[in-house]
Amino acid sequence: MAALGDANLIHDVGYLGQGLVGDPAMLLMCNEIISYVKRFMRGFEMTSEHMAIDVIRKVGAEGHFMSEEHTRKHFKEELWRPALINRDDLVTWERKGSLTYKQKVTQRTIEILDNHKPEELPAEIKTKIWAIAKEAEKKLAAMHFKA
Protein backbone atom coordinates (compact mmCIF):
# COMPACT_ATOMS: atom_id res chain seq x y z
CA MET A 1 0.00 0.00 0.00
CA ALA A 2 2.88 2.36 0.77
CA ALA A 3 4.32 1.77 -2.70
CA LEU A 4 0.96 2.40 -4.37
CA GLY A 5 0.87 5.73 -2.54
CA ASP A 6 4.31 6.64 -3.96
CA ALA A 7 6.03 6.46 -0.58
CA ASN A 8 9.79 6.45 -0.94
CA LEU A 9 10.35 5.03 2.55
CA ILE A 10 8.73 2.00 4.10
CA HIS A 11 9.19 2.44 7.83
CA ASP A 12 9.70 -0.18 10.56
CA VAL A 13 11.19 -2.86 8.31
CA GLY A 14 12.32 -5.70 10.57
CA TYR A 15 10.41 -4.41 13.59
CA LEU A 16 8.37 -6.76 15.72
CA GLY A 17 6.22 -6.18 18.78
CA GLN A 18 5.19 -2.63 17.82
CA GLY A 19 8.84 -1.70 17.31
CA LEU A 20 10.00 -2.87 20.73
CA VAL A 21 12.06 -5.63 19.11
CA GLY A 22 14.13 -5.70 15.94
CA ASP A 23 15.07 -8.90 14.16
CA PRO A 24 17.87 -9.04 11.56
CA ALA A 25 16.27 -12.10 9.94
CA MET A 26 13.02 -10.18 9.62
CA LEU A 27 14.98 -7.50 7.72
CA LEU A 28 15.87 -10.10 5.10
CA MET A 29 12.25 -11.26 4.86
CA CYS A 30 11.07 -7.68 4.42
CA ASN A 31 13.83 -6.97 1.90
CA GLU A 32 12.60 -9.82 -0.26
CA ILE A 33 9.00 -8.63 -0.04
CA ILE A 34 10.07 -5.07 -0.90
CA SER A 35 12.04 -6.33 -3.92
CA TYR A 36 8.88 -8.05 -5.16
CA VAL A 37 6.80 -4.92 -4.63
CA LYS A 38 9.41 -2.81 -6.48
CA ARG A 39 9.30 -5.23 -9.42
CA PHE A 40 5.52 -5.11 -9.46
CA MET A 41 5.45 -1.32 -9.24
CA ARG A 42 7.90 -0.99 -12.12
CA GLY A 43 5.20 -2.34 -14.40
CA PHE A 44 5.73 -3.98 -17.75
CA GLU A 45 7.01 -2.65 -21.03
CA MET A 46 4.31 -2.80 -23.67
CA THR A 47 6.47 -1.89 -26.65
CA SER A 48 6.57 -3.92 -29.83
CA GLU A 49 9.99 -5.22 -28.80
CA HIS A 50 8.78 -6.48 -25.44
CA MET A 51 5.43 -7.80 -26.66
CA ALA A 52 7.25 -9.91 -29.30
CA ILE A 53 4.25 -10.32 -31.57
CA ASP A 54 6.54 -11.31 -34.46
CA VAL A 55 8.15 -14.02 -32.33
CA ILE A 56 4.74 -15.29 -31.20
CA ARG A 57 3.61 -15.54 -34.83
CA LYS A 58 6.85 -17.28 -35.82
CA VAL A 59 6.78 -19.86 -33.01
CA GLY A 60 3.05 -20.53 -33.22
CA ALA A 61 0.69 -22.21 -30.77
CA GLU A 62 2.53 -25.52 -30.60
CA GLY A 63 6.10 -24.22 -30.45
CA HIS A 64 8.20 -23.03 -27.54
CA PHE A 65 10.05 -19.81 -26.91
CA MET A 66 13.07 -21.05 -24.96
CA SER A 67 15.32 -21.29 -28.03
CA GLU A 68 14.37 -17.84 -29.31
CA GLU A 69 16.95 -15.05 -29.09
CA HIS A 70 14.21 -12.66 -27.93
CA THR A 71 13.47 -14.88 -24.93
CA ARG A 72 17.15 -15.12 -23.97
CA LYS A 73 17.47 -11.36 -24.29
CA HIS A 74 14.43 -10.37 -22.21
CA PHE A 75 13.30 -13.05 -19.78
CA LYS A 76 15.55 -12.02 -16.89
CA GLU A 77 14.30 -8.44 -17.13
CA GLU A 78 10.71 -9.40 -16.48
CA LEU A 79 10.81 -12.26 -14.01
CA TRP A 80 11.13 -11.78 -10.28
CA ARG A 81 12.79 -14.67 -8.49
CA PRO A 82 12.97 -14.72 -4.72
CA ALA A 83 16.31 -15.40 -3.09
CA LEU A 84 14.85 -16.98 0.04
CA ILE A 85 11.20 -17.88 -0.52
CA ASN A 86 11.02 -21.49 -1.70
CA ARG A 87 9.64 -22.01 -5.20
CA ASP A 88 10.89 -25.58 -5.64
CA ASP A 89 8.74 -28.65 -6.02
CA LEU A 90 8.64 -31.02 -3.01
CA VAL A 91 11.32 -33.43 -4.31
CA THR A 92 13.78 -30.63 -5.08
CA TRP A 93 13.07 -28.93 -1.74
CA GLU A 94 13.73 -32.21 0.10
CA ARG A 95 16.93 -32.82 -1.90
CA LYS A 96 18.16 -29.33 -0.88
CA GLY A 97 17.69 -30.15 2.81
CA SER A 98 14.01 -29.38 3.49
CA LEU A 99 14.81 -26.04 5.14
CA THR A 100 11.83 -24.02 6.30
CA TYR A 101 11.64 -20.37 5.32
CA LYS A 102 12.60 -19.39 8.87
CA GLN A 103 15.63 -21.70 8.80
CA LYS A 104 16.75 -20.43 5.40
CA VAL A 105 16.38 -16.77 6.39
CA THR A 106 18.15 -17.31 9.72
CA GLN A 107 21.02 -19.14 7.98
CA ARG A 108 21.42 -16.33 5.41
CA THR A 109 21.26 -13.67 8.14
CA ILE A 110 24.09 -15.36 10.06
CA GLU A 111 26.16 -15.60 6.84
CA ILE A 112 25.71 -11.86 6.22
CA LEU A 113 26.51 -10.91 9.82
CA ASP A 114 29.62 -13.11 9.79
CA ASN A 115 30.97 -12.11 6.38
CA HIS A 116 29.70 -8.72 5.23
CA LYS A 117 32.35 -6.07 4.77
CA PRO A 118 30.74 -2.69 4.04
CA GLU A 119 32.27 -0.60 1.31
CA GLU A 120 34.25 2.30 2.72
CA LEU A 121 32.88 5.74 1.97
CA PRO A 122 35.06 7.93 -0.24
CA ALA A 123 37.10 10.52 1.71
CA GLU A 124 35.23 13.48 0.20
CA ILE A 125 31.90 12.03 1.36
CA LYS A 126 33.26 11.48 4.87
CA THR A 127 34.47 15.07 4.93
CA LYS A 128 31.03 16.36 3.90
CA ILE A 129 29.29 14.22 6.53
CA TRP A 130 31.60 15.45 9.29
CA ALA A 131 31.05 19.07 8.19
CA ILE A 132 27.28 18.59 8.37
CA ALA A 133 27.59 16.94 11.80
CA LYS A 134 29.76 19.76 13.16
CA GLU A 135 27.36 22.40 11.86
CA ALA A 136 24.42 20.57 13.44
CA GLU A 137 26.31 20.25 16.71
CA LYS A 138 26.89 24.03 16.81
CA LYS A 139 23.22 24.77 16.10
CA LEU A 140 21.99 22.28 18.67
CA ALA A 141 24.42 23.55 21.33
CA ALA A 142 22.85 27.02 21.05
CA MET A 143 19.31 25.69 21.55
CA HIS A 144 17.74 25.36 24.96
CA PHE A 145 15.14 22.63 25.23
CA LYS A 146 12.51 22.73 27.94
CA ALA A 147 10.63 19.71 29.16
| Annotated domain spans of the chain | 15-120
pLDDT digits over 23-47, tens only? 899 999 989 998 999 898 988 888 8
User: How does pLDDT run across 76-118, given as a tens digit for each residue?
Assistant: 888 888 999 999 999 999 999 999 999 999 999 999 999 999 9
Closest CA to 82 of 119, 23, 24, 40: 40
Q: pTM for the complete prediction?
A: 0.67
Q: Is the pLDDT of residue 145 over 80?
A: no
CA 103 – CA 96 distance, rounded (Å)? 13
